Amino acid sequence: MDALLEVRNVSKRFGAVEALKDVSVSLAPGEVLGVVGDNGAGKSTLMKVISGAHPPDSGELRLAGQPASFASPRAARQAGIEMIYQDLALADHLDVGANIFLGREPLRRLAGVVPVIDDATVRAEVVALLGRIESHIPDPETRVLALSGGQRQAVAIARALYWKAKVVIMDEPTAALAAIESRNVLRMARSLARDGVGILFIDHNLLEVLEVCDRVAVMYRGSKVYECRASETSQDELVRYMTGFSVQGAAVPA
Amino acid sequence: MSVESLSVTAYPRQSRRTRLLQELRQLAFALASIIALTIIFALLNARFMSPVNWYHIAQQVAIIAILAVGQTFVIATAGIDISQGSVVALTAMISALAAVNLGMPPIVAVLLTLLAGALVGLVMGLTITTLGVPPFIATLGMLAVALGGALLTTNGTPVFGLPQGFLVIAQGDFLGFPHMAWIALILALIAAFVLNRTRFGRYTLAIGSNAESARRAGIDVRRHLTLIYVLAGATSALAGIVYVAYTAAAQPTAGQNYELYSIAAVVIGGGSLFGGVGTILGSVLGALLMTILRNGTELAGISPYVEQVILGVVVVGAVYVDNLRRRLR
């Protein structure tokens, strides 16, 4: 299958710091690609380049085979690249449905004239949506305030899903979650992928990465030093690349 | 598919009930206080419960309720409008000068005054959204500017001699209910509709809850906030017009401290100074509570100076209780 997102030979420099050195990765539709690396390895910079926050100094992005360059995160989102922020960007006092539809509420005309928010449509869509990603949110009219961390992730994921994101970037989605909730988030990531969404999954927990991802890319000091199928690697091997041990040893397996 | 459609019909009933309970709990505090105060004031002075006095309360609550409606929208965005009292004074003078000195027909004077109020609001809104001045300071500045403006219009002297066509805005009643109370009621119904059912209301709460997430969702936060202050200015002007018609005179000292009543009303009614919450029904109940407090202390023979002290304590107390409520949640 053709690549959904391709990053080709991207470099990015901040003053004297080479944050990204000639990085290439590709992501297929329905694929979960883990991106791992130590702090400062370049994961965040790579995600910022993909989500339109930083333009690359050289190299290019291709989305569905077409060259793409994003002037802003908004432009990237319009093209179908959705970043799920660690702080989730939810309005706590609004309910689940209001958050998923925020800024894009469906309207109906009261008495044929006055435009009001079509709550029935919102409710129906949200119930179906939450069921699709197995979110464990019993009531779409719950305020986000009252949700657990995992359920908040579910709202952000549902929003990306409903608005037809093609690529979803999940930045340490389980960092602040209880174990059981982390399981749910991983399951939601898989169900997003089943819908054909490509997912870039950044995480420090390698066990989670090995479980949820199809492939894993390892970053080390701004370069992608290793890439393999998740089923063909181990935590130990990933750590060796993340810490630069295998890189300097130059014993890169195929 | 059948499972989904089943759940679609299964959810709303339960959640609507919990929603209603949540809102009732918020209103319970205001209602309980209203009942408690009513009993206390009835015991202090038998005249408090007379039909004449309740008619009077219905008149008095109108102005505070109108201001509380504007204040609800502002506070829902995590802002505050402390200019209200002064803007009431300024717009009271403008409406009287237009109707009396310039001899405009009442309807023209009213529209002109509403426009002036909206303009005052626009200045505050732009000060906040483009100059980045916090709402507290921007509206504090307007408090001084509008009061100065009100005094400047006539060098501090009141305006009398309003035509009957103007006075009828407040004086007289319909179905046994004073005109001015009808005005407040209709405004409150429209405001509740806008806040609960429209995108405008939704965005108001969203901005107050998390302005950054509203911005990321594509909402034009600056424009919306500016509009909120325009509306707040216009509602202050409406209160100024009603005030003039009620007292049959325009004085530059009209509306003094009214912002304290309206802020207290909103917070007592469940609004939070941190933004994101607030209901019109709650704010109107809060306005009723503040009016009863004012009317009752007067009838009980308590000095208006003491009433001032009570007002200050109630405002601070209401905000303190609000903080406790948020922390406990």
**Structural domain boundaries in chain A:** 5-249
Whether pLDDT at B139 is above 60: yes
Residue B140 lies in a domain: yes
Confidence check: pLDDT of B262 > 90:
yes
Q: Which domain holds residue B290?
A: 30-41+49-328
Check whether B278 has a pLDDT greater than 70.
Answer: yes
Residue (of A134, A122, A124, A130) closest to A97 by Cα position: A122
Gap from A92 CA to chain B (nearest CA, Å): 6
Task: Give the residue from chain A lying closest to B212, CA to CA.
Answer: A89
Q: Do A74 and B7 touch (CB under 8 A)?
A: no
Q: Is the pLDDT of residue B124 over 70?
A: yes
Bridge partners for B139 per DSSP: none
- Residue B70 domain flag: yes
Q: Tell me which residue in B11, B216, B276 faces A127 most closely, judged by beta carbons.
A: B11
Backbone dihedral angles phi then psi of residue A18, each to the nearest 5 degrees: -90, 95
Please indicate, yes or no, if residue B231 is contained in any of the structural domains: yes
> Per the structure block, which two tokens stand in for B95?
């409406």
Please report which residue ranges of chain B form alpha helices under DSSP H.
Answer: 2-44, 51-76, 84-96, 106-129, 135-154, 164-167, 179-197, 199-209, 211-216, 221-247, 258-268, 280-299, 304-328
Mean pLDDT for chain B overall: 90
For the record, the structure tokens of B277 come out as 């919450």
SS3 labels along B277-299: CCCHHHHHHHHHHHHHHHHHHHH
Check: CB of residue A218 under 8 Å from CB of residue A51: no
Percentage of residues of chain B with pLDDT beyond 90: 81
Phi, psi torsion values for A171, nearest 5 degrees: -100, 105
Does pLDDT of B147 surpass 90? yes
pLDDT at residue B242 tops 50: yes
- Is the model's pLDDT at B248 over the cut of 60? yes
Of A90, A103, A124, nearest to B8 by CB-CB distance is: A124
pLDDT band for position B43 (50/70/90)? very high
B11:A107 CB<8 A: no
Quote the CA–CA distance of B33 and B38 in Å, as a whole number.
8
CB pairs under 8 A between A and B: 82
B9–chain A Cβ distance below 8 A for any pair: no
Give a yes or no: residue B13 inside a domain.
no
Q: Do A91 and B210 touch (CB under 8 A)?
A: yes
Q: Does B4 touch chain A (CB under 8 A)?
A: yes
CA B284 to chain centre: 8
Is there a domain that residue B156 lies in?
yes
Q: Is B326 on the interface with A (CB under 8 A)?
A: no
The CATH number that applies at residue B92 is 1.10.3470
Residue B114 has pLDDT above 90, yes or no: yes
Closest-CA residue of chain B to A115: B198
Cβ atoms of A34 and A215 within 8 Å: the answer is: yes
| Chain A residues touching residue B329 (CB < 8 angstroms) | 145
The count of structural domains within chain B is 1
B37 part of a folded domain = yes
Region B273-295: what's the mean pLDDT?
A: 94
Q: In this predicted complex, what is the ipTM? A: 0.82
Q: Is residue B58 situated within a structural domain? A: yes
Residue with tokens 């919990």: B18
Chain-chain contact of A115 with B329 (C-beta, under 8 angstroms): no
Residue matched to tokens 């420099």: A13
CA A71, CA B56: separation in Å to the nearest integer? 62
Residue of A121, A126, A127 to mutate when probing chain B, most B C-beta within 10 A: A127
User: B40 to chain A nearest CA, in Å?
Assistant: 36
Contact assignment for A145 to B210 by CB distance below 8 Å: no
Shortest CA gap B216–chain A (Å): 8
Q: CB–CB of A123 and B12 under 8 A?
A: yes
Burial grade of B124 (CB within 10 A; 0-12, 13-18, 19 or more): buried
Indicate the angle between helix axes B221-247 and B199-209, nearest 10 degrees: 110
In chain B, which residue's Cα lies nearest the Cα of A103? B217
* Interatomic CA distance for residues B243 and B262, integer angstroms: 15
Q: Quick one: closest CA in B to A142, which residue?
A: B15
Please indicate whether, in this complex, the C-beta atoms of B214 and A140 are within 8 angstroms of each other.
no
Q: Which residue has the higher pLDDT, B5 or B94?
A: B94
- Interchain CB distance below 8 Å, A89 and B213: yes
- Return per-residue pLDDT of chain A as tens, 254 residues: 578 999 999 999 998 888 999 999 999 999 999 999 998 899 989 998 998 888 999 999 999 888 988 888 778 888 899 888 766 678 999 999 999 999 889 999 988 889 999 999 999 999 888 887 777 787 888 888 888 888 888 888 888 888 888 999 998 888 878 888 888 888 888 988 988 899 999 988 899 999 999 999 999 999 999 999 999 999 899 999 998 877 654 444 44
Q: Is residue B22 part of a domain?
A: no
pLDDT of residue B227: 98
Give the residue from A181, A197, A231, A224 showing the smallest Cα distance to A29. A197
Query: Do the strands A81-84 and A58-63 form a parallel or antiparallel pair, or are they unpaired?
Result: unpaired
Residues of chain B with Cβ-Cβ distance to A107 below 8 Å are 199
Query: Are A139 and B16 a contacting pair at CB < 8 A?
Result: no
Which chain A residues are closer than 8 Å to B4 by Cβ?
A: 127-128, 131
- Beta strand extents in chain A (DSSP E only): 5-14, 17-27, 32-37, 58-63, 66-68, 81-84, 107-110, 114-117, 167-171, 198-202, 215-220, 223-229
Whether B132 shows a pLDDT value over 50: the answer reads yes
Of the candidates B4, B205, B214, the beta carbon closest to that of A127 is on B4
Please state the φ and ψ torsions of residue A59, each to the nearest 5 degrees. 90, 175
Q: Which two tokens stand for residue B311?
A: 């007002």
Residue B10's pLDDT band (boundaries 50, 70, 90)? Answer: very low
Give the type of residue at A108: R
Question: Which residues on B lie below 8 Å from A145 (Cβ)?
Answer: 329
pLDDT of A2 reads 73
Does B215 touch chain A if contact means CB atoms closer than 8 Å?
A: no
The answer to whether the beta carbons of residues B299 and B44 sit under 8 Å apart is: yes
Classify domain A5-249 at the CATH superfamily level. Answer: P-loop containing nucleotide triphosphate hydrolases (3.40.50.300)
The encoded tokens of residue B233 equal: 């200015």
Contacts of B242 (CB under 8 A, 6+ apart): B62, B63, B66, B169, B170, B180, B183, B184
Report CB contact under 8 Å: B212, A89.
Answer: yes
CA A91 – CA B274 distance, rounded (Å): 13
Evaluate whether B233 touches B128 at the Cβ level (below 8 Å).
no
For the stretch B45-73, pLDDT in tens is 999 999 999 999 999 999 999 999 999 99
